[in-house]
């Protein structure tokens, strides 16, 4: 095989890899955006009807759909410009090399311990709180517009931030790794029509950031003391303390670590 043939293979693999990577990140961000999912479903339905009209020779329907297909992309860009911009911003904020800091087991245990102690206190005393843990997608946009803290996470600090009538009480705390980066952050609220109207701004903001990014949003209701976790575009509402703890641990565990643990268990069983 000569150099030209080798170079041709490399460029084809690179070409396919770039297209696959682009589709992967687009679909990863689209699936958590309710409006973008509806757009994709609408496009698929229109294409299906167009194919059906061609097979059945439905002339009038076919002509109308040709106009829709021709001008549809422009209409989508104009009408859904905010949603498209949101997806592109999410792609831009994605950190291809991983999170700011990969926590060790001890550091994760400390983060969970400090958060759970504060959540128990908030739940018992009906103190509203919103804590957002950054993962792969950067939350720098929200950090810039909030009050910088840059302190080690602790129960005392969280309770001070969310103390009633505190200047930062109504905003959210952003956690990067095992440190509180900022407080008083304001997040975009979810526009999901299926959310119960009884849920307040904190829950809608938690779901909004979970739809927009891969962050973990922890919520304590000020009115009822109920605790919830929003992640992967879904709101896990009114959890018990044990359910809350297990869900938090599950979401904080890095996927690669789970993979390596599985390999170690398999090798251990084989050795036995």
Range of lowest pLDDT (1-5, 35-39, 156-160, 266-270)? 266-270
How many CA atoms, within 13 angstroms, populate the side-chain half-sphere of residue 26?
9
Instruction: Choose the final residue of a domain: 65, 93, 121.
Output: 93
Could you tell me if 68 and 135 lie in one domain? no
> Across the strands, what pairs with 182?
148, 174
CB within 8 Å of 227: residues ≥ 6 apart: 119, 122, 123, 218, 219, 220, 221, 238, 239, 241, 244
Q: What whole-number percentage of the chain has pLDDT above 90?
A: 40
What is the arithmetic mean of pLDDT over 100-115?
86
188 shares a domain with 75: no
Together in a domain, 86 and 206: no
Give the sheet arrangement for strand 179-185, strand by strand. 147-152, 179-185, 172-176, 129-133, 216-220, 227-231, 234-239
- Is 33's pLDDT higher than 70? no
Token pair for residue 145? 């517009």
Higher pLDDT, 136 or 73: 136
Looking at the structure, tell me whether residues 173 and 216 fall in a common domain: yes
261 domain-assigned: no
Range in 75-84, 142-151, 153-162, 231-240 with the lowest mean pLDDT:
75-84
pLDDT band for position 136 (50/70/90)? confident
In a domain, 99, yes or no: no
End-to-end CA distance of the chain: 47
Can you give the pLDDT at residue 90? 58
Q: Which domain, by its residues, includes 111?
A: 105-256
Query: Same domain, yes or no, for 115 and 237?
Result: yes
Task: Give me the pLDDT at residue 162, please.
Answer: 95
Instruction: Please check whether residues 200 and 226 belong to one and the same domain.
Output: yes
- Total domains in the chain come to 2
The CA-based angle 177-183-187, given to 5 degrees, is 95
- Shared domain for 117 and 201, answered yes or no, is yes
Residue 272 resides in a domain: no
Q: Tell me, yes or no, whether 160 and 250 share the same domain.
A: yes
Token pair 């299906």 is found at: 48
For the full predicted model, state whether its pTM sits above 0.85.
Answer: no
The CATH number for 218's domain is 3.40.1700.10
Furthest CA-CA distance within the chain: 74
Residues facing residue 183 across a β-bridge: 147
**One domain for residues 212 and 80:** no
| 149/169 same-domain check | yes
- Same domain assignment for residues 178 and 51: no
Residues 46 and 66 in one domain: yes
């Amino acid at each position: 095989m000569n150099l030209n043939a080798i170079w041709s293979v490399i460029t084809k693999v690179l070409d396919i890899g770039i297209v696959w990577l682009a589709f992967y990140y687009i679909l990863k961000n689209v699936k958590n955006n309710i409006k973008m999912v509806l757009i994709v479903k609408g496009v698929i339905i229109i294409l299906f009807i167009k194919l059906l009209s061609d097979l059945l020779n439905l002339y009038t329907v076919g002509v109308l759909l040709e106009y829709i297909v021709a001008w549809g992309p422009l209409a989508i860009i104009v009408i859904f410009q905010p949603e498209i911009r949101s997806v592109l911003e999410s792609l831009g904020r994605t950190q291809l090399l991983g999170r700011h800091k990969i926590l060790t087991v001890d550091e994760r245990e400390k983060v969970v311990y400090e958060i759970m102690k504060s959540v128990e206190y908030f739940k018992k005393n009906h103190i509203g709180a919103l804590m957002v843990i950054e993962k792969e997608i950067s939350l720098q946009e929200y950090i810039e517009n909030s009050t910088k803290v840059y302190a080690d996470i602790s129960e005392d600090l969280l309770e001070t931030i969310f103390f009633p009538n505190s200047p930062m009480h109504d905003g959210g705390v952003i956690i990067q790794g095992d440190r509180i980066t900022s407080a008083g952050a304001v997040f975009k609220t979810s526009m999901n029509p299926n959310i119960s109207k009884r849920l307040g701004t904190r829950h809608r903001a938690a779901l909004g950031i979970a739809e927009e990014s891969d962050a973990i949003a922890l919520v304590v209701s000020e009115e009822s003391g109920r605790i919830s976790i929003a992640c992967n575009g879904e709101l896990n509402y009114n959890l018990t303390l044990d359910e809350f703890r297990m869900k938090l641990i599950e979401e904080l565990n890095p996927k690669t670590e789970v993979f390596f643990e599985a390999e170690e268990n398999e090798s251990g069983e084989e050795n036995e």
